[in-house]
Amino acid sequence: MHLHPFFIFFLFTSLFVVSQAVCASDDIDAVIETMRAPSYDCPDNALFPELEAVLARDSLSTEQRFALEAAKGQFLICQGDYANALALLTGIVAQEEIDEESYAYASAIHQIGFVYDAQENPARCKYYAKARKLSSPERHSDVFTSASLGLITYCSDSMDVGERLGKMFAVLERYSDTGSPGELAHIHNSIGLLYGSLGQHSLAAEQYIKAHEMGLQVYEGSNKLSILISAIVSLLGSGQTDEAYKRIAEYGMLNKEIDTPLTNYLYQYSLSFYYRKTHNYEKLAASLPDLKEAVTAISSNFGMLIYKWHEAEVCLYKNDLTCVQNYLDSFGQGGHFIPANFVTNLDYLSFNLAMYLALGDIEKARIANEVFSTEAEKKRVRQQDSARVLSAATLYNKIYDLESEIEAAAQRRNNMLLVIAVILVILSGIVAYVLRKKFLATKAIDPVTQLLNAEAAIGRIDKLEAPKTHRAIAIAIFDISNLREITRKMGSTKADSVLRKIAQTLQNTTRGNDILGRFGTDQFILCLHNIEERSARTFFERVRTALDNTFDDSAETSDINVESKMSIFVAHEKVSGLNDILDEMVMSIDINNRKADNVL
């Protein structure tokens, strides 16, 4: 049988078109795989233009378009464009005839939950629950892990914190042998969030730093920075300012290659937060233009509140009372007003009180003081909730035991050659231990005064056992309020000599078993253990008197008077929540200094 030439041409043309369509479909599926990133990571932002180009094609199937738009939602979230991400994702999941068993659908549902999470919208729990139901440890496992952690962290208010940490522990155990660095980083980040909710900022910071260092192995784009900013905030919240500044510098280096409006804002925010926490108002003032530019670039209402707060802090520092009054008037509320974002922030409440004191508005200052005192008491009660803290500490140890098991499991998976490497590591470890011991002994000393530095002093106080019956742990912070004036009188080149002289006075007055350290630029900390409260207060007064007479022993300096202020804390049990206690002591001194300035 002979076929007509036209029919043969038509047959070959049809086969070519079909084969081209199959190839095109395969290409699209390959693009979808390329664009897909785990739910706890961000896709490579350099791929976004290619994604947009593919979405512009008319030849996409319904399933392909859905998968690509779900991937686009993740790009938008990582760019900080939550509004457009939410509009896109809610639109595509509302379509009919969508394969609800697909990874793209489960991912889109989880992303909607994540956006609501970022907005602190309770609807997040509904979507996290649905995403978890659509997945399992075997199917869409990254969505299952992320949704599970979201539910534990934000949607378990009926559970006490011990149960929630126990569930975190179970998730960590599930992934201990097979989990990728990204998955483990995600879990440690969630544990950090729970410790943060307890007010245990030091423990939270440790978890965030672990998560950050694990995540650096696998994360791309802005996800390299998202956990680091949480670590910085927790470090500052726990008073670890030196480590916080080191991490801010690391953030700045990583951000040079990422450089998005959101990451730039977070960098400027962390810098201004650091300068405010360390009372470096000159540098805070210098950083404000960059912070304002970064806030404007992301159109953040919260960011603008932070900027205006910091701007007003500088005004107060410079005693520009017109500027301070303008800041208060900008709320347009009349009476005593605190922005909703700051109603539980003790730093802001202390600043709020200081503003009214500076303005001489006694009635509003009284109200501000009541608000501050009430919130400070609430925080103290939360810190003293021994059941919660004990529960957290117990599970914290369990988590660290599990981390050791993870390391052991990883070693078992290695081949026999690793044994030789382990022996070498052990030998190196012995040498490193000896060197580290010497290094730590040096690191614990303030180089100027030769006293313990703040971190070492706080660490020793934290380790003190509960005092004996009818005895106490007594802590005092001494603030040399006129240190700059003394330095000016003696000459700026002798600033270190002034500090050494003051430190020598403290050493001569205190006993060998007392914990004495330099706490800040012009502050010193002294802790007495197992002492009667009355004796402690008398002892502190004697130390303060000695401080005030530091320069009386020389005719050349007899006209120089040290003006010191003191804040005392006494506990008849083991001290908990030490960093918060010290923060409140410093706030007390700061408020007293500001009151003294107003009187003058």
Question: What pLDDT was estimated at residue 7?
Answer: 46
Question: Which helix (H) or strand (E) segment is 27 a member of?
Answer: helix 5-35
Look at residue 55 and tell me whether its pLDDT is greater than 80: yes
Assign 65 a pLDDT band (cuts: 50, 70, 90). Answer: very high
Phi-psi category of 436—alpha, beta or left, where left has phi over 0 and alpha has psi -120 to 50? alpha
Distance between CA atoms of residues 8 and 546, nearest Å: 109
pLDDT digits (tens, 9 = 90+) for 315-338: 999 999 999 999 999 887 666 678
Task: Quick: pLDDT tens for 151-183.
Answer: 888 887 776 666 777 777 677 777 766 667 888
Contact 455, 240 (CB under 8 A): yes
- SS (HEC) of 457-479: HHHHHHCCCCCCCCCEEEEEEEE
DSSP 135-175: --SSSSHHHHHHHHHHHHHHS-TTS-HHHHHHHHHHHHHHT
- Reading phi first (left if > 0) and then psi (alpha if -120 to 50, else beta), residue 470 is in left
Residues 183-210: tens digit of each pLDDT: 888 888 888 887 887 777 888 899 899 8
Residue 18's pLDDT band, with cuts at 50, 70 and 90, is: very low
Q: Band the pLDDT of 410: cuts 50, 70, 90.
A: low
Whether the per-residue pLDDT at 382 is higher than 80: the answer is no
Domain spans, the chain:
23-135, 319-413, 454-599
d(CA 350, CA 376): 10
The DSSP element (H or E) to which 246 belongs, if any, is helix 241-258
Q: Tally the C-alpha atoms within 13 A of residue 286's C-alpha that lie toward its C-beta.
A: 6
The CATH code that applies to domain 454-599 is 3.30.70.270
- What is the C-alpha separation between 437 and 510, in angstroms, rounded? 27
**38 HSE (CA, 13 A, CB side):** 22
SS (H, E, C) 337-352: CCCHHHCCCHHHHHHH
Between CA 421 and CA 114 the distance in angstroms is 43
Given a cut of 60, whether residue 96 has pLDDT beyond it is yes
Burial of 401 per CB tally in 10 Å (0-12, 13-18, 19+) = exposed
Q: Say if residue 23's pLDDT is above 60.
A: no
User: Which neighbouring-strand residues pair with 525?
Assistant: 477, 517
Structure tokens at 525: 């900390």
- How far apart (Å, rounded) are the C-alpha atoms in residues 282 and 276? 10
Residue 450's SS3 state is coil
**C-alpha to C-alpha distance for 540 and 418, rounded to whole angstroms:** 57
**Torsion angle of the four alpha carbons 485, 491, 496, 501, in this order, in degrees rounded to the nearest 10:** -70
Angle at 202 between CA 198 and CA 205, to 5 degrees: 100
The three-state secondary structure class of 304 is helix
Tokens of 259: 């450089």
Whether the CA torsion 89, 94, 100, 102 is positive or negative: it is negative
Topology of the domain comprising 23-135: 1.25.40
Q: What is the DSSP secondary-structure string of 58-112? A: S---HHHHHHHHHHHHHHHHHTT-HHHHHHHHHHHHTSSS--TTSHHHHHHHHHH
Q: What DSSP character marks residue 340?
A: G
Flag whether pLDDT at 361 surpasses 50: yes
Look up residue 566 and give its DSSP letter.
E
β-pairing verdict for 515-520 and 564-571: unpaired
59 closest CA partner among 20, 30, 91: 20
pTM of the model: 0.56
Which of the residue ranges 68-77, 91-100, 101-110, 166-175 would you say has the lowest mean pLDDT? 166-175
pLDDT value for 514: 92
The owner of tokens 């379509």 is 95
199: left (phi over 0), alpha (psi -120 to 50) or beta: left
For helices 161-174 and 386-413, the axis angle rounded to 10 degrees is 0
